[in-house]
Amino acid sequence: MKILLIANFIDKPGGAGRVEAYLAKALTELQYEPVIVASSQLHSHHSSLLPKHLKVYVLRKGPQIRLPEPFIFHTMLNYKIIGKIIEREKPQIVLSSGGMSKSIVKEAKAIKAKVAVYYHMIAPWYIEIRGFYRRYKWRDLSMLWFGLNIALNRIESIDLDPWPYVDVVFVNSKYMMHLAKRYWGEEPYVLQPPIEAERFKVLSREERTLEVISVGRLAPDKRYEDLIEAVGRNSVLKEVARIRLMGVLDNEQYVRNLLKLTKKYDVKISFNINIPEERKRYLLSKSMVFVNCSKHEHFGINVVEAMASGTPVIVHRSGGPYFDITNRGIYGLTYSTLDELTGSIESLIEDSEMWVKYSKLAIQRAKLYDFELFKLRLSSILTRVL
């Protein structure tokens, strides 16, 4: 059975693109015939996961264009090109990751293909929560950009309510599932992102360095300032521990602000930008504590990767890291105030028994997100529904 996978993020770094690569890999191993459609050239972190000889359509060559007007032009143009690909390939299933347009649904239905959509975040939640993350200013076109995205959703996208259009809806976390039920009145299937557990090495506490690590885009919604302030307000922590931030450089001004904050609190910090996956796994295994400061994170695959390394995790008491991954604080520590975050970091560094307890719990939990289980869940859903 041929499945056309419209991968909207596989050309970009980050967890969403990684999930798309794993979807293609899982479909191949399940004896489906996946065909990938990507907006631009596949990111190297993701392409390395794909089976050889997989058929891939790349819609646009060259660098990505991020301005609002070309975005709309290219989006509309992409819909037309994808429609032609659907007509040519004649897949039995069209699966779009990250959203779906009405025109693509129409083309799929024209050849009697089933239609599925996988959401990393759902549109009503994005529109509601985005204002919490940012303060829009006319001078940088942020408000215009946001408004155009909403307008485009209402005109062409099905994402404000996909149920009248598609055969199956997936979301990437139980947290997103509960929100989807709240907004849509329907309960989608949950397919949580995977890791390949055997790729991660677990080191003993004695082999690790006194580092508190966090991984993700270097952007304001990741709230790394919470971690800097939590360490900086404790005289012992800032003396013995170093903060390490790893990820894609998404906002240079934000990084400059973080550096100013580290100087204010006299905190030791290191940045690792765009590092290879192998290096990231090594640094996760060498660190003493992992902290995820994002509020309302839709999932948080980097938390699972830290856990697979045996690194105890601390997450904000919201979103997927709290509800899904730590199961409301059973498999990791949680916080809502900076005092709680400071106390949890200090406890894990000073109390070896507590550290060993949460290290073992982390390893136990991470096994539930292994790629082989992801593949079985995907197979079960496709068999049952499609």
pLDDT (tens digit, 9 = 90+) per residue, 161-205? 999 999 999 999 999 999 999 999 999 999 999 999 999 999 999
CB 242 within 8 A of CB 269: yes
Q: Find the mean pLDDT for residues 44-59.
A: 92
The alpha helices in 170-324, defined as continuous H runs, are 174-184, 224-232, 235-240, 252-265, 277-286, 301-308, 319-320
In whole angstroms, what is the distance from residue 296 CA to residue 273 CA?
24
Using the predicted structure, report yes or no on whether residue 133 has a pLDDT greater than 50: no
Using the predicted structure, report yes or no on whether residue 80 has a pLDDT greater than 50: yes
SS3 (DSSP) at 289: strand
pLDDT at 136: 45
CB 13 within 8 A of CB 43: yes
Which CATH fold topology does 197-369 show? Rossmann fold (3.40.50)
- Residue partners of 1: CB distance under 8 A and separation at least 6: 32, 33, 92, 93
pLDDT at 123: 85
Using the predicted structure, report yes or no on whether residue 316 has a pLDDT greater than 80: yes
Per mean pLDDT, which of 20-29, 54-63, 96-105, 243-252 is the most reliable?
Answer: 20-29
pLDDT at 243: 98
Q: How confident is the model at residue 141 (pLDDT cuts 50, 70, 90)?
A: low
| 124: enclosing H helix or E strand | helix 123-133
pTM: 0.91
In whole angstroms, what is the distance from residue 267 CA to residue 232 CA?
6
In whole angstroms, what is the distance from residue 221 CA to residue 229 CA?
16
Q: List the Cα angle 259/295/18 in 5-degree steps.
A: 85
Q: What are the distances in angstroms from CA 311 to CA 170, 234, 286, 362?
A: 29, 22, 8, 7
Q: How confident is the model at residue 52 (pLDDT cuts 50, 70, 90)?
A: confident
Q: What are the distances in angstroms from CA 210 to CA 263, 287, 289, 349?
A: 20, 7, 8, 8
In whole angstroms, what is the distance from residue 182 CA to residue 356 CA?
38
Which residues pair with residue 90 across a beta bridge?
Answer: none
Q: Find the mean pLDDT for residues 331-351.
A: 98
Distance from the Cα of residue 300 to its chain's centroid: 6
Tell me whether residue 271 is exposed, middle or buried, using C-beta atoms within 10 angstroms of its C-beta: 0 to 12, 13 to 18, 19 or more. middle
SS3 (DSSP) at 5: strand
Using the predicted structure, report yes or no on whether residue 63 has a pLDDT greater than 60: no
Q: How confident is the model at residue 157 (pLDDT cuts 50, 70, 90)?
A: confident
CB 6 within 8 A of CB 96: yes
Structure tokens at 2: 């041929």
Q: What are the distances in angstroms from CA 79 to CA 3, 56, 167?
A: 17, 16, 20
In whole angstroms, what is the distance from residue 340 CA to residue 255 CA?
24
- Residue partners of 369: CB distance under 8 A and separation at least 6: 192, 193, 194, 195, 197, 304, 308
Using the predicted structure, report yes or no on whether residue 68 has a pLDDT greater than 50: no
The strand pair at 289-292 and 114-119 is best described as: unpaired
pLDDT at 60: 78
Q: For residue 185, give the DSSP letter.
A: S
C-alpha atoms less than 13 angstroms from C-alpha of 166 in its C-beta half-sphere: 30
- pLDDT > 70: what percent of the chain? 89
Q: Does domain 2-194+370-385 have CATH number 1.20.58.2240?
A: no
Using the predicted structure, report yes or no on whether residue 139 has a pLDDT greater than 80: no
Using the predicted structure, report yes or no on whether residue 91 has a pLDDT greater than 50: yes
Question: Where along the chain do its domains lie?
Answer: 2-194+370-385, 197-369
